[in-house]
Every structure is written in structure tokens, then in C-alpha cells.
Structure 1
Amino acid sequence: MAEVKENSENPLDIDGSNFNPDLYLDRLMKHANLKQIMDKEAEIVTQSQFLQSEMQTLVYENYNKFISATETVRKMRSDFQIMQEEMNKLSDNMNKITTFSAQISESLKESGNNVSRLCGTRQLLDKLQFLFLLPSQLNKAIIENRYADAVHDYTHAQRVLLKYGNQPSFQSIQTECYEIISELKKTLRDRLLNPDASASELVESVGLLRQLQETDSSLQDIFLNCAENRLDKHLQTLSAMVEITDILEWVEKCNNSLLADIGIVISCYHELFQNSNTTLPEFANKVMTQVFHLFEEVMKRPENNGTEILVRGLDKFFRKLQAMREIISSDTMSDKAVEVVIQCINQKATGQYQSIQTQFKDSLMRVRQSLASKGTENADLKDILNSLQVYLMQKVQASLLDLMAFLQNNLSFGLKPWCVKAVADACWMVISETMVNLSDMVKKMAGPQSSNNIPFELLLILAKLCLEMQENGVTTLHSHLLKLLEEAAPGVTIENRDTSGVTVCLSSAAQAALDAEVAHIGQTAAQMLRVSVLARDWLRAPEPRGPRAVCRRVVETLAGADAAAAQLFPASVKPSSDSSRRTIWSRTTTAFSPINRLFSERIEVFGPAGADRGALAEGALKVALKALVECVRVRTFGRHGLQQLQVDAHFLQARLAAAAPPRTERLLTALLEDALASAQLRCVDPQLMEPSIVDIICERG
């Protein structure tokens, strides 16, 4: 704006109001050459001609507009004259019409009054005729089941009857009508109590009774009692269908009969008793409790265990309940509908892990029979373990995928946050309960009453299986669950589960199985040694010719267990290759005196078994040789008996220490030395053989 104002005040601006031609020409002559001056002259001449042409055009246009306006004014003068004449004629006609109307009204005034009196008389006669004919009309309408017409006629005449009922001419009519209406009320109540009456008939009966001034409290009780009788019939039908139909057919019947009727009943109740619904929620909850109970029974039938049919039936049932929630307006109904879905999900999950448990037991039974028939030498324990682990993982993963069917986006509850949480909880329940059941099963098989009848190879397999599931299986299943949930319900936050409780159960079960296997092998070998020591007369024993057969059986038993453990558990320490091993007669007898035993290293025989090959072999060895030591301490030996024990001990050391780690070798040597020293203390002639002779006897034997 400031710039425009400045240009308009500039004396050199040719378009401005303050333009000074002399100043402009003087400035142009000073600063421009001849060519520029001539060009400027041509430009100004062109612009002047253009402006003159435009001015002429404007003058012509304004002249034409002026001529048009003049003609318009001339026409308006002539038109106004015609309109004035027409208005004068219209005014004269209106005055004449008003005069004629006043004359007609005056002449017909008396006739109009007579007509009005006649009409009033006719109406009064019609009313009187209606009153006199009212009883017969009521009876006729009731006979023809036109109850609404009867009530309408009675209520229409009731005001007159109440006003003039004391007069003798109307008293009999009033009495007769009252009796007829009393019978009609009874008929309507009977129809309300009829279980075969339709919903429209119930509504009509209640509405008519209300028009006949029945109290709402009594009508509510009658209406709900009648509705309850009708719904009981549906409940009986549905109860009879529980054992003979699948869940889809049952839900269809329930939706189309009972739930449809209860919706109609509630809608009618709200329509009839708008301001009083104190007893309705209790009535609806009572009926729906029975419906939910029947649905639970249908849901538990084996024929309805299929996920697809269960989900389809549940979806239809839930949709109907959601629609009824708007009718009933009860939070209990909504909560119960959600509870039904969650119950179905949990029941399905329970069936899944119970099925996994049953099938896994069958698999273990087949493995047990296979081990019993083939023997340890021909059994590939690693392959059996892999097959069991893969089978268990696949079954659990298939169960998780099956439960994802409850999260389909076309279901009415599929992507609800509470449904996603319920499915996540149910899936984790399948994982955790499967692992806990596996742990309980292993602990039971490893118990003192069962472990003696279970092949020790199976105990090793189960222990390794529990360890594998503890280390990798639970984590893998949990990750798989999170992936499935993310694919089924993207964007929904799923909380991570604490797997520590499950892994602790698996760890304790693996430890129980390892302890049972060690105890089984150790006690088997210990029993053989115990019987061989206690049943022999060591005082009269002959001169030793070789190790006894029981020692070979003990070595075979321990070696077989070690070979089985080697297939599943790694060796934590490599066997020692030292050829200068200490012999068991390298220590004197005095070294095992009662005083020195107090300060010797304590050997824990029944401690927890380790999850490696060396620890398992060591555990069984401790049990077996500790039994040998204890049995030797209660026997009395002769010289040849002591020497026979020396040969047996040397044989056991040579065979058992061949593949043992240094720690196990030291333990083996200590226990055998302890047994031989105890025999020396219990010997009447303690003379040991030379080591070279013992070597020759063992090699020859």
C-alpha cells in the first residue's frame, strides 16, 4: 500500500494524479538519446489511441443503457395504469361479495340453530342406543374372540356409566356390563396361563388387562409365570437333545426356539411395563443359567471335541447372546457369554494336553516293549530319544495351532482382547501342563516302587528327554506360541510367560530319573556281590584259580549301563591313559585301622547323580562296591579266602578302570582297597599273594 501511494504522488509517474509533463519531458530530454525519445513518443501515441478507443466504446455503451432505461420507464407508466384499473374493479367486487354474504347469513341463522340442535339430539340418541346395546355387543365380541373390540367398547362407555350409573335406567346396564367384563378378565388370565399361547396373544392379553385397570404387579407375576412355563418346555426339549445331537444342531435349536422366545418375552415385558423391571433380571438370569448348563453338557460330549464344529457352534451361540444382551441390558449376561467362550477354550486346551499325555504314555509303552525285546545292545537310544522328543514337540505345536482357530477374524469373538488373552493362557497351559505331566510321569516311573520294573535304558532316555525339554524345548515352544499369536492377532500385546517353574519341574524329574537309573544299576550289581559274599564260606575257600564268575557279571552289568549312558550323555572328563596305575595292594593293612578311617575322605554313596557318563558310572560303582565293603566286614576269612578276594578286587579294578576318568578310578581303587583291608582285618591268616602272581591268575582266568 505504501509503494502504491508513493507511485501515485510521484510527478514523474505518467499514470499518477500528480504527473508533471514539463518535469517529465525535461528529465527525458536530459537522460535519453534521440532513438529512445522517438520510441517513447511512438509508445505514448499508441497508448493514447488505445485509450481514446476505449473511451469511445464506454460512451457508446452508456448511451445504449440510457436509451434502454428510458424505454423501460415508458412501459412501466402504461402498465401501472392498467393495474390500477384492475385493482379498482377487484375492490368493487369484494364489497359486493361481503354484502351478499351478510344477507345470506342473516337469512339462514335460524335454520342453522335448528340443525345444530338436531345434530346434538342425534348424537345423544346414538350414545343412548350404544349404551343400551353395549351388553349384547360385548357378549358378541367375546364369543367371536374379538377381545380388543370388547375392551374398546367398554372403556368408551365406562365414563358415561360411572357418571350416570346411579340412575335406574342405566343401573342394570352397568351391572350387566361389569359381570361381562369380569368374565372377560378371567378369560384373559386363563389365556395368559396357557403355555400354548403365542407371544402376540400374551402381549394382547396383558395390554387388555391393563386397559381394564388391572394392577401392574399382578400382571407382571402372571406374565413371567406364563413365560417361564413356555420356556420350560423349550428347556426340556433342549435337554433331551443333549445326548443325540451335535453342538451345531443344538445351538440352532436353542437360538431359534428358547433364546428367540426369551427375547420376545423380554421385549414385550419392556413394552408393557416400561417403568417396572425389578424382577426381570432375576427371571432372565434364572433361565439363562439353565441354558448355559445345558450348553456346557453339549460342549463336553466327545462328538463335539472337533475344533471346527466347536468353534462354529460357539460363534453362533455367542452372536445370539450378544444380540440378547442389548435386549436384557444385563452385565451378568455379557460376562456369562464371555465366560462361556473362555470355558470352551480352556476345555479344549485341557482335552489337548490330556490327549498328548495319553498318546505319550502309549509311545513310552511301545518303547519299553521294544527295549525289552531287543535288549540294550541292539537298541539305538539316541534314535529313540529323538523320536520321542520330535513326537512330543509336534503334538504340542499341533495343539497350539489347533487353538488358534478361536482367533479367526470372521468370528464374533475372534479378535477380542479378552479372547486373545484366553487363547494365550490356554496355549501356555497346554505347554506347561504337558511338561509338568511329563515330569510327574518320569518321577512316578523313577519312584522306588516302579524303577525296579523299568528298564534302565528307558530311565536314561526319559532323563535326557527332560533335560532337552528344559534346555531348549520349553523356550522353543514359547517362541512358537508368540509367533502364532502375532500372526493370528497382529498388534495385540502378549505378555511373556515365566518358564522357570516348568524348567524346575523338568530338572527335578531328570534328576529323579538319573538317580533311579544309578540306584537300579548299582543295586543290581550290589545284590550280585552281596549274595556272592554272604553265601560263600571264606574260611574253607580253596586256593584261587581265577576271578569268580560274579565279578564278570558285575563288570558286564556296569559296562552295559555305561555303554547305554554313552549314547545319550557326554563324558565330561576323558579317561586317563596313565599306565602306571596304583594297585590295590600298594597300601598296608595298618592304613585302614579304625582310627585312620576317621580321617579318610568320606564317600557319599547315594548323592545326586550327574548328567554325564562318568558321573553315572561313578554313582553305580559307589553303590555296588560300598555293598561289597559292608558285606566283607561281616565275614571271617581264611588265607585262601583273602587271596580269592584279592584276585576278584584286582580283576574288578583292571576291568572297571579301563574307561573310567581319573576321579572314578581313584574312587574305585579306594573302595576296593577298603574292601581288601577289611578282609585282612577279618582274616585268621592274612597273607596276600604277590602282585605278579595275581596278574597271572587274572589273565589265565
Structure 2
Amino acid sequence: MEEHPLQIALKAGKTAVLQGSMDLLLDFRKLLDDDLGLLVKLRDLVTDWVQEGFQDFFKALEDRLLVHSGRNRSGSQEQGITEGAQVDKVAAGLVLVLAQLCVFIEQTATPRITEEVAAFFSSGGVRSYENGPAFVPGEICRVFRSAGEKFLQQYINVRTQRISVLLKKRFTTPNWFKHKEPREVHMFVDLFLQELEAIGAEVKQLLPPGVLGKHRRTESNGSTASSRSNPLRDDTMSRSNTQRARSQLLETHLAKLFKQKVEIFTKTEYTQESVVNTIVKLCLKSLQEFVRLQTFNRSGFQQIQLDIQFLRGPLKEIVDDEATIDFLLDEVIVGASERCLDPIPLEPPILDKLIQAKLAKAKEQNPVSP
């Protein structure tokens, strides 16, 4: 199977760290095994050199990885602004490589090097009698565990910010108060899904799949056939009563909140699903905030309803947490209704017709190969 560029880069980094370290340790072992009189007398010093050398090496390596990611150790405001600009210029894929390299150093390289040092370079060191061993693997693991988490979060931030720019442009460009009746799903939906597809392809190169499978409900097909996946399709809504429509919308949403306790953000793991889940959730929260900054007429609100309803199907194919996705998408629609003077939703048959037309169009543009 052909390796991708990011996989090649990560593999090269792993080899350089572990194999390079083992080769160096082997060279020192050969020197000591030669039983030369001078080296025997200097054995304690050599032990200290090896231990101190590896401790310093990993400290310098962490600094170098920070530089490659566009980050630094400084906490000043001025340098922090400069650092932010540098981080934005760093390729997201490189940051993900650095995150995985840190995981490798913590979980594989450091334990393996520790075994070698303990077996051949642990006894008799001059320094250890006074100050303890110079090589402290626990500290190295802690440092690279922390660095890996920061790099992973940086990758998520960079990817999320890129999509947020797309979403912001979508919601700040049109005059939503004069929006025309929706005729089709807006193209920003396609761009959004393309970005998520690119992220999915990227994380698959470097991260393992999660241990848990997808938890799906049978109605997550992007259609409007299910009433549970959309709080707007309650038959008791009356198009002639704006206040009643808004009240029913909010009541349905609140009932959903009390019925299921949704934990939106959990700790991000080093898996494909976890990273993609986090990015999608952050993007939907951004979408919700952008919606709340606008004022919609009825048609504008209906356009949001259409776009969000269409997103349900594809997002549930990407994210394995259906309950949270439904909740966040519903939050967007509720937010739009609160910013609309006449929040009357599209009738289910019309909504379904527009979504099916979009699905048919997508199928024509991307025919499945036989």
C-alpha cells in the first residue's frame, strides 16, 4: 500500500529518534566492552555523559518541535501575537505529525531507551551519588505528553478556524432580512462538507480508528421522514400564528434537552473519530454564534432550516455521536428562530422535496463507480 506524505514524515521522525538513539547507545556499549584501561577508569563519567546527554537531547528536541509548530515558550503578549501569526502559517498536517511524534516518544521511544540505559549505563555514575540520576524518563514522558496534547489542540484550532472563516463569510455576506424564498440548499454546505472530508483524509493518514463503533439511529438519512431529528416538524404548528410557532419550537427543543443530557465536549483522544468529532462540534457552535448575530425574515429563516436539515445526514456519517449532532443542529435552528420576526418553518413536504433534489443533484455530479 502506498504511503502518504504525512505517513512518510512521521515514520522518518520515529526512525530518527529511536533508531538514532539506539545506534548511539550501541556505540558507547562497544567502547566500554573493549575493556580499554582508560575507558574502564572513565566508566562512571561515560555513564553520566550518556544519561545527561539523553536528558538534554529530549529537552532540545521538544524546543525544536515547538519551533516547527510555530510556537515558543514565551508568555509575553507581544510575542504571543507574533506566535499566533506564525502558528497560522504552519501546515495543519505538520502539526498533526508533531503530535503523533510526541505520542511515540512518550509511549515507545522513552521506555525503550530507558531499558537500554538501565541495562548498561545505570551503575556507578559520579553524578548519581550526589544528585540522583541525570536521565529522568518520567519527566521526559510528562513533557512530551503535554507537548502532544498542545499540538493536537493546535491542529484542531487551525482546522476549525479555517472552516469558521467560511461560515462567517456565508452569514455576514447576504442581507438576511431581505432574503428570498429558498429554492435549494446553499453551496456553503458543500464547501463545509469538503473541508470535513479533507480533515478526515488527513487524520486517517496518522491516527488510529477509535475502539467504539458508530451509534446510529435508523432515521439519520438526511430526509425529513423522522420527527425526532427535527423539532420544527410538529403538526401542531400553525402557519397563521407566528407566536405559536415560536413557542412550539422552543417547547420542543426544551423537552429534548430535559429528555437527554447531552455532553457536547469531551476530552479529545488521539483517534480519527475523536478529532473529527471535536472539530465538527466546534464548527457547529461557531455556526450557532454567527446565526445569533443576524436578523432573519421568514425566507431567511427557512433557508437556514433547509441547510441545517440537509447537513444532518452527511454529518451523522462523519460523526459517531448522533445525539450531540442533533442537539447542536437544533440549537442553530432555534437560534435563527429567535432572531426572526416571523419564524414559520417550511412545510415538511416542501423541505423533503428540496433535500431530495439536492441529493439527486449530488448523485449526478458524483456517480458511483461500478
Alignment correspondent of 1:156:
none
* CA distances 1:658-687 after superposition (whole Å, capped 9, x unpaired): 1321x3x22222111111111111112211
What does 1:448-527 align with in structure 2 at a 5 Å threshold? 448-485=84-121, 498-527=136-165
Tell whether 2:270 aligns with 1:632: no
Alignment correspondent of 2:193:
555
Tell whether 2:176 aligns with 1:538: yes
Alignment correspondent of 2:324:
667
- Of residues 341, 345, 353 in structure 2, which corresponds to 1:696? 353
Cα offset for 1:397?
2.3
Tell whether 2:218 aligns with 1:579: yes
Which has the larger share of helix?
A: 1
* CA distances 1:1-20 after superposition (whole Å, capped 9, x unpaired): xxxxxxxxxxxxxxxxxxxx
Cα separation, partners in 2 of 1:434 and 1:547, compared to 1, 3 Å: farther
Cα separation, partners in 2 of 1:379 and 1:410, compared to 1, 3 Å: closer
Counterpart code for 1:499: P
* CA distances 1:395-431 after superposition (whole Å, capped 9, x unpaired): 2223333444663656443112xx3233223223333
Judge conservation of contact 2:200–2:272 (CA < 8 Å) in 1: yes
* Partner Cα distance (2:51, 2:324) in 1: 46
Q: Over aligned residues, Cα RMSD in angstroms? A: 3.4
Cα separation, partners in 2 of 1:482 and 1:652, compared to 1, 3 Å: same
* Partner Cα distance (2:51, 2:209) in 1: 32
Cα separation, partners in 2 of 1:446 and 1:614, compared to 1, 3 Å: farther
Alignment correspondent of 1:427:
50
Alignment correspondent of 2:249:
589
Alignment correspondent of 2:23:
398
Cα separation, partners in 2 of 1:425 and 1:382, compared to 1, 3 Å: same
Q: Which has the larger radius of gyration?
A: 1
Counterpart code for 1:580: E
- Of residues 371, 376, 386 in structure 1, which corresponds to 2:11? 386
Judge conservation of contact 1:385–1:465 (CA < 8 Å) in 2: yes
Counterpart code for 1:569: P
Counterpart code for 1:672: L
Tell whether 2:272 aligns with 1:613: yes
* Partner Cα distance (1:585, 1:446) in 2: 44
Structure 2 residues without counterparts, runs of 5 or longer: 72-83, 221-227, 234-247, 359-370
* Partner Cα distance (1:602, 1:440) in 2: 39
Counterpart code for 1:474: T
Judge conservation of contact 1:439–1:506 (CA < 8 Å) in 2: yes
Cα offset for 1:601?
5.7
* Partner Cα distance (1:633, 1:594) in 2: 18
What does 1:61-210 align with in structure 2 at a 5 Å threshold? none
Counterpart code for 2:269: G
What does 1:218-617 align with in structure 2 at a 5 Å threshold? 379-404=4-29, 407=32, 409=34, 411-416=36-41, 419-444=42-67, 445=69, 447=71, 448-485=84-121, 498-567=136-205, 568-581=207-220, 582-585=228-231, 588-591=248-251, 609-617=268-276
Judge conservation of contact 1:635–1:682 (CA < 8 Å) in 2: yes
Cα separation, partners in 2 of 1:439 and 1:595, compared to 1, 3 Å: farther
Cα separation, partners in 2 of 1:693 and 1:439, compared to 1, 3 Å: farther
Count of residues in correspondence between the two structures: 315
* Partner Cα distance (1:459, 1:510) in 2: 10
| 400-409 vs 525-534, greater mean Cα deviation | 400-409
Cα offset for 1:604?
6.4
Judge conservation of contact 2:48–2:134 (CA < 8 Å) in 1: no
Judge conservation of contact 2:55–2:134 (CA < 8 Å) in 1: no
User: Aligned with 2:300: secondary structure?
Assistant: helix
Judge conservation of contact 2:230–2:330 (CA < 8 Å) in 1: yes
* Partner Cα distance (1:440, 1:595) in 2: 51
Counterpart code for 1:471: Q
User: TM-score, normalising length from structure 2?
Assistant: 0.74
- Of residues 631, 635, 643 in structure 1, which corresponds to 2:302? 643
Cα separation, partners in 2 of 1:599 and 1:384, compared to 1, 3 Å: same
Judge conservation of contact 1:511–1:608 (CA < 8 Å) in 2: no
* Partner Cα distance (2:156, 2:108) in 1: 25
* Partner Cα distance (1:524, 1:495) in 2: 46
* Partner Cα distance (2:63, 2:105) in 1: 14
Judge conservation of contact 2:232–2:249 (CA < 8 Å) in 1: no
* CA distances 1:268-296 after superposition (whole Å, capped 9, x unpaired): xxxxxxxxxxxxxxxxxxxxxxxxxxxxx
Cα separation, partners in 2 of 1:473 and 1:627, compared to 1, 3 Å: same
User: Aligned with 1:503: secondary structure?
Assistant: helix
* Partner Cα distance (2:4, 2:276) in 1: 19
Judge conservation of contact 2:96–2:151 (CA < 8 Å) in 1: yes
* CA distances 1:121-141 after superposition (whole Å, capped 9, x unpaired): xxxxxxxxxxxxxxxxxxxxx
* Partner Cα distance (2:263, 2:186) in 1: 26
Cα offset for 1:645?
0.6
* Partner Cα distance (1:499, 1:449) in 2: 34
* CA distances 1:628-667 after superposition (whole Å, capped 9, x unpaired): 1111111111111111111111222211111321x3x222
* Partner Cα distance (2:86, 2:261) in 1: 34
* CA distances 1:484-524 after superposition (whole Å, capped 9, x unpaired): 549xx9xxx99795411100011001100110111111111
Judge conservation of contact 1:572–1:614 (CA < 8 Å) in 2: no
Could you tell me the percent identity over the aligned residues?
A: 21
Judge conservation of contact 1:633–1:679 (CA < 8 Å) in 2: yes
Alignment correspondent of 1:187:
none
Judge conservation of contact 2:262–2:324 (CA < 8 Å) in 1: no
Cα offset for 1:583?
2.2
